[in-house]
Structures are given as C-alpha cells and as structure tokens.
Chain A
C-alpha cells in the first residue's frame, strides 16, 4: 500500500486519503473553462498538481505527483507557500 505525506498529519497509508481531482487555476464560474475541464481533461504524463484529502482529519491539501512514476514530489496546504520538491510543510 502506498503512503502519502499529509501536510498536517505526516506520513500515512494511502487508504486514509481521498483523491479529489486535478487542481484547476480557472474560476468555476467560467462556463467555457469548466466545459474544457469536464470534457477535455488533459491527462498529462509528468508532474501534476492534485487535490487530496486526509479523511480522518478532513484535511484538504495539494500534492504534486508524477503521473507516470506515481511519485509524489511535494504536498502542501492551500494558501501556504509551496515547499521545495521532495519536502512537505512539516518537514
């Protein structure tokens, strides 16, 4: 079972987490951008920023993950500074 580092709770089993989808920089109120996201998801090979949630503590955070290697490069809370690659906020 894979492990993921929650910015609040540290390294936990992946079973404790929920994937919430890719990070979108556009406004949900922008109908054209929303259509693009819903029907033309790019699904790139390479690093991608995604939303994740630690379920027991309801912690929603961001993770940068390489979609080919499944390697998580970094995780951080929204609204805080992005940490360096390979780092998480709590060290």
Chain B
C-alpha cells in the first residue's frame, strides 16, 4: 500500500497542498493537508485499515466517505467514536483505531474471525447463561464488553463548552445538494426567510464530487447569494419534532430551529452489494471514490474494478480513467439499464466492460487483492486493490419518517418511496424520487415554490420535468447466502446473509423482531446500509413483498450526537435568598430545597459528623433556651386580594376564613378532590379584602396554579399573585425573642397584650417595612418577619445586632426539623403521601364542619364513612434502641407491615429518639406501643406518645 499518493490538481478541491499537517495514527507519524478529513489524510498516507469490526475483528476501511458508516469510527485523543470521514484533520492530533487489542493493522482478536461458526445469530441470548447464575455479569459480560467495545471514555475529561441557541425561519431546507439549493433559491426569491443547511463543509452536495460541469455548481451558489439564503454548513438536522421543531447540530452548538415550512432534500444513502468478503478494505462505494478524488485528491488504488449498477458507477469509472487509475474491469450487471448515451461513452473510452457480470467473492486478508466474478457462466478472478461499488441507493428517508410519512417500495427499481408527510414538509431531489440532474433541480424548485406559497407568497409553481434517467437508478437484490459466509448485510454488527435467514428460521418473521434478535441496524450507522438488504431477505424468507416489510421504526436522532450538546450550557436552576451570601460567609452547609439553596447548619461545609451533630444540638438549644433565627424566605407567599378574597379562600382551604378577623393569622390546610392533604400554611388577613398566605416551599407553584385555575372557573372578584420571590422571611424564635424586638426601632407594639399568639401586624422595624406574624413551627415564642427582598439583608443584620445581648444566632434547616418534630408538627410531603387524610393525621380539627363547601369536602365525607385504615402517631425510643431507626423503617403488627416511619430524629432537648410513623389506628393511643424494624433488621419497641413531645400544653408559644 505504500506508494499510494495523491492525484495532481485539479483533483482535491478541498485540500490546500501548501499547508501540511502532521498527525499520528496508532502511534505512526503521518502527514496530511489542511482541508483533509482524518480519513482522507490516513488514506493519503496509505493507512486504509481504520478500524476493526465489532464481532469478528475484521479489518475495515472507509466505505461511503459521507459520515454514514461505522467503519471510520476512530478515537481522537480522549474523544471516542469520531467519524473520521467527517472530522477535519487538525495539526498534531493522535488518532487511534477502536475495538482492537493492539492496533488497526495487527489485532490479536482477529482470531475471532475464524471462530465465527461458534458465534451464531442471537448468540448472546442463547449462550452466556452458564455455568452459574452470576456467570453473565461476572464472566461473560466483561469479556464481551472489552472485545466488542466502541472507543474508550475518558472519565477525567475536562468540561467542554456547549451552546444551545434558538433559530426561527420561514423555511428550513435540509440538504444543500442541487435540489436543496434550488428549493432555497426559489423560496427565498419569492420573499421567504430561508435557512439552508448541509452536513458537508460546503454547499453543492453531489455537484462537488460527481461528474458534472463546474459551472452548474457556480451558478447554483450565485443563485443562493442573490436570493439572500442563510447557509449553515457542517450542520446536521438530527430529527423532526411536532410543528417543525428541528434540532440542528453544528460543532459545539445545538440549534433549536423552528421553521414554518421544511424542505427535505437530504439525498440518498449508498447501498452495498452483498457478496463474500464485501467488507474488505479497498471495497468502497462509487461515490466515495469520487469524493476521495475530487475533494481530497486521494489516489484510491493502483488497479480498479467498478460495479456500475447505475449511472453513478459509470461516471466513477470514467473519473478513474481520467485520473489515471488503471481499470481492470467495469461490471455492468444484467439488471442494469444504463442510458444508451452513457453506455456509448463507456465504450468510447475503451473501458474493459463485463456486461451481465455478477460478483461472487472478494479475496485478500488485510486489503482487497482480487475479485472473482461470473460473466455469462464464465468465472474469472481479476486482480485489483480497489472495487468501486455502485449498487444504487435508498433515499435518506429518516426525517420524513419522523414526521409520519409512509414508506413504500417500487418493485421495478427496488427503491423505497415516501408519501404522506405533513402539509408543512416538502420533499425534493432523490427523496422525492427524482434522479437525473435536471429533474432533481426541478423537484427542488417545485418544493421551494410550494413552501413559499404555503407562507402566502405569490409564486408560480414550475411544472414537473420528465425524468429520462429514472429507470436507470435502482438497487440490486441480495443473493442467497454464500456457502462460506462472510457476505455482510450489516457491517456495524458483523451480520451475514445467513444470520438474517436464521433469525427468520428461529421464528422471528417480523422485521422489528428480526432486529431485536439479530441486532441488525442497531449499530452506529442505524441501518442506513442494512435496512434494504434485511427487508429483502426477510421478504424472501417469508414470501412477502418488501413494501410489506418496510424498515424498522425511524426515530430521532438521525445521527450520533454528543452528550455535551444535549446537556447544553451549565446553568444553575436554583434560587438564592437575600441572605445567601451571609449564610455562606457564616459557615453554612448549603443544600438544595426545592428550587432554593438553604442553610442546613452552620458547622461549616466540611465538618465531621460529630461536629455537625454538636453544632445542630447547639442551634436547637439556643432556640429553646434563648433566641435564634431562621431564614424562611423560601416559603411560598401568595397575595389574595379583592372583594371576594375571604369567600374565595374559604372555598380553597378547609378552615373557616370568611369571618377571620383583620389582624389575625389562621392555619390553612388544602385538600385535593380526593380529600387528600396537599399543602398547608397560614393566612394573615391584612385588611378586609387582603390576605397574605404562605404555602410550603415545594408546593407554592402548584397552589398558585390551582388557585388561578379554580378562579378561572368560579370567576370570583379576586386577584391572585405569587409573590414568593418578592418577600423574604425571617423567623425570630425563642423565649427571649420579644426582648430582641423591643430593643429595635419600630412602630409596632410587640408586648404580649398588644401582639398575641396568632396575631398579624404590619409596620416598620429598623426602617424596613414588615409584616409580622406570631406563629411558630418551633413551639417557642416566635415572630415571623416578612419584608421586601431588598430590605432583607438590612433587617437580618439589624436583628443580629439587636439580639447580641441575648446571644441571637442563626440556625439551619436541620435544627428547624428537630424543633418542629419535638412539637410533633407534620411536614406536608414528608409525613404525608397522596392518600393522607386529615383524619389520619389527627387534624380533624382543621376541617370546617359548618362550611357548605371546600375543595375535597365531598371526598372527606365519603372517606370518613369508610373509617381509618392507618394513623400517623408520634413515637419515642431510647437513644440506643432507636439509633438505627430511619425514615421508611417499617411498622410491624403481628409480623405484618402496617405502616412506616416518616420522620425521625434524635432530640437534643429530650435526650430521646422521637419520630412520626403510620401505624394501625388502634395503636395510636397513649400507653400503646408499636414495633419498628430498624436498618439492621432488628425489631424495636417504640412508645406511642399522645401529645407533643415538648411542651404538650403549648404554653411556651403563647407567652
């Protein structure tokens, strides 16, 4: 292979011979040119084996040079699965072959090729069960994964930067070949805003590598410029989603394109001829040979054979002759119907034609050395190192199929057809069934005009053009399996004709089942080259038509996409409170709570478990013995205002709010239509027509939505606003809380007589406008101060300074949870589930008995009639006994689970383990006990406590 060199100019339109780039392949130093792809540079340096096959480790080289096959997947540095025929060559890159046990050229696993008969179709479903139960995971899976891997993921990969951008246009044209360019030109000329994209680095499609007059391409490009078409190159439209939402991958950017109309001019996928050893390096598609020569000036071989199944192959033969590559034979299959003029051209060029020839076998170990063909019964072996195969192509049907188009099959030409795509999708070029260049361009013009017309632009639709060459374009049948096999249908998965035949024989008649059993079409090329061949084999084996078999369901993505593109740029989805900076500076360990970051404790982010426990206990003690404060800004906050505000929330919540006095705060409990508890909070009546309502951090959006939704139906005179982020909240709590407030500049009387438990006041504290509610989750004397967010840091600081004599300090979420548990308060969502009723929670007192209606009332009454099946109890254990009791520990009764623990914590105040658990209703009574199964599996006896663990008479919160 050593003397394979480049062709002279003008071959190699994309490369710049003045700029050489050094790179390495499997450690060997090589040189290519600027403008090369990795694959063309390797081929230009004589490296044809780019990879080893998945199962048998057979050598593989480039097949399509169009980014469509898996043969060219290589590893570049730490990036696996790079398509070498699509990636531009970079200076100094280290390319290595994948799926080898040494290198592409020397793969010790290639012995597998000779063990093929022990690896039948569906082998991993049938073989790797023994000898023991765990054999698959312990023995077989690691071996198979190592030998059939696709690249190596570097888990230490540095973070990349990926963008996600939106793009809106009137018309998106997918594919910048002659059809796409014509469609874009016509639509843009009619006044539409058109974006034209192509996966290649330049527009033109087949015009850039096919045997066409260069003026056609130049004219088409001028047309795009004149019409003002926006062109995106190196961009792949990777799927179609409802209403023309189209993801487009371009480098490190994922474009989210929304197009009113879409024109699919995606071209075609070359098909491989099926014969023995059809996968040898040196056997490539005819268009790949044209791409290698016209784009990259790669001399593809020293002695070539061509299979001219359609005019493309015939053109490739003429190109090879023109490039000075000796032709050993040009095979014209018996089924071919090449145009007479083209045949005359071949004859005139003096090419060695073999009419009626069929390919029997390719020979060679690491590269093609000869072909065995049969012509009219005469078998001959022809030496060659290049076989350019043109066995026809299928339309690139993926996007229309995503959009719901139906696939048909033309039995005469053996080509898939498309129909039934949405009204806003237009097909052009080979996807629309056009093949001759004139007909292809015309079909693009028709599609572009149709798109413009749908947008309301006045444009005359050109008449369709008769396609003289249509009959010349066709595909070729799959022969029955070669006796010695190695006649590959699917290169990705190393599947031969007999594998598909055997899959059908094993009972899988339906294509979707054949796919799952044999893995055909599951590889990186997603059946682009195997789908038609597989459909033909299954049709033959089951005596049906190919149209009845079709292809397996086509779903996005069309091609591989990098996970970084899907992940997009890193954006924190969290909110922070106004005191976030203070918390962090004060040594808080921050945790996510819903969409917020909250301080968990102030022991420092890296503190030991023991240090954390000590700090949390100290935080609890400061609240019980002196005064502490908690940032409760994350609480949901709703403003419900208007003449019907009281009547409205009276229907929403279970308690009586209609006659709630101004200046009072009332607990509120929300049920759903099933009578289950879904949220709680408090409602502060600021004025007759103004309620300030809190909701739990995680549920406020749902509560707000529900209120808005209900009022859309009830149409009461009320305005509802979600002001969660507008207000910050600070809970000042502890026996000395009043003393702190008294010391502050304010216009609110905070004395016990003037500001009672469950009172609410508005006014000013330390110059900050506040709403203060005497409520408390902790069971201590508490003032909850709410202030506009912008005032919150100042108020927080003022409180800290005013409370210095009392030792006021901040406490975190962990201490808050313990404090509330000591009072036996529930947290909706933690101590409740989708079925929890107020009755189960012991909260019947919160249900307004005299109200005619509140949400859930009909269900509450029906469910009350059924009786309780469980009940949330408060339990306690000694510290040693309860050490291993955790959330979700089972509650057992007569050995059967009847409930589970919902909350549990060690109480620093009480010196015991305390918690909440669902138990049998009979057991939820003073003096009873429940049995818990702890994390070690040991059953523990826990005492049921009928009242709050701490301050059962609720004296402290009301002082």
Contacts and interface: CB of A to CB of B under 8 A. Distances in A.
Interface of A: 1-3, 13, 18, 20, 28-31, 34-35, 38, 51, 53, 58, 60-61, 70, 78-79
B243 interface: yes
Contacts of A34: 673, 858-859
Interface string B707-736: 011001101000000100000000000000
B245 interface: yes
Contacts, number: 51
12 contacts: A1-B243, A1-B245, A2-B243, A3-B243, A13-B258, A18-B705, A20-B705, A30-B858, A51-B709, A60-B708, A60-B712, A61-B712
Contact of B709 (A2, A29, A31, A60): A60
Contact of A29 (B241, B258, B853, B862): B853
A40 to B, nearest CB: 14
A29 B858 contact: yes
A53 B705 contact: yes
Contact of B674 (A18, A20, A31, A38): A38
Contacts of B21: none
A1 B241 contact: yes
Q: Which 3 interchain pairs have the tightest Cβ spacing?
A: A31-B858, A60-B712, A1-B245
B855 interface: yes
Nearest to B722: A58
A20 B709 contact: yes
A52 B72 CA distance: 49
Contacts of B830: none
Interface of B: 241-243, 245, 258, 673-674, 704-705, 708-709, 712-713, 715, 722, 852-853, 855, 857-859, 861-862
Contacts of A58: 704-705, 708, 722
A78 B673 contact: no
Given A1-B243, A28-B855, A53 B709 contact: yes
A1 B705 contact: no
Nearest to B720: A58
B712 A51 contact: yes
Nearest to A58: B708
Nearest to A38: B673
A61 B245 CA distance: 24
Given A1-B243, A1-B245, A53 B708 contact: yes
B425 to A, nearest CB: 15
A61 B722 CA distance: 19
A28 B672 CA distance: 11
Nearest to A29: B853
Contacts of A20: 705, 709
A65 to B, nearest CB: 13
Contacts of B705: 18, 20, 53, 58
A2 to B, nearest CB: 4
Given A3-B258, A35-B862, A78-B715, 15 more contacts: A1-B245, A1-B258, A2-B242, A2-B243, A2-B245, A13-B245, A13-B258, A29-B852, A29-B858, A31-B861, A34-B858, A35-B858, A53-B705, A53-B709, A78-B712
Q: Which of A20, A28, A61, A79 has the most CB of B within 10 A?
A: A28
Contacts of B861: 31
A5 to B, nearest CB: 11
Given A60-B712, A79-B715, A28 B242 contact: no
Contact of A1 (B242, B853, B857): B242
A70 B713 CA distance: 24
Given A1-B242, A2-B242, A29-B853, A78 B713 contact: yes
Contacts of A61: 712
A20 B713 CA distance: 12
A18 B706 CA distance: 11
A51 B708 CA distance: 12
A52 B682 CA distance: 28
Q: Which of B245, B858, B859 has the most CB of A within 10 A?
A: B858
Nearest to B241: A1
A26 B383 CA distance: 84
Nearest to A23: B713
A18 B258 CA distance: 20
A69 to B, nearest CB: 11
A31 B862 CA distance: 9
A24 to B, nearest CB: 9
Q: Which of B243, B715, B853, B855 has the most CB of A within 10 A?
A: B243
Contacts of A29: 852-853, 857-858
A1 B247 CA distance: 10
A56 B637 CA distance: 17
B248 to A, nearest CB: 14
Nearest to B256: A1
Contacts of B709: 20, 51, 53, 60
A51 B712 CA distance: 10
Contacts of B857: 29
Q: Which of B242, B245, B712, B853 has the most CB of A within 10 A?
A: B712
A54 to B, nearest CB: 11
A61 B709 CA distance: 9
A2 B708 CA distance: 24
B157 to A, nearest CB: 30
Contacts of A38: 673-674
A45 to B, nearest CB: 18
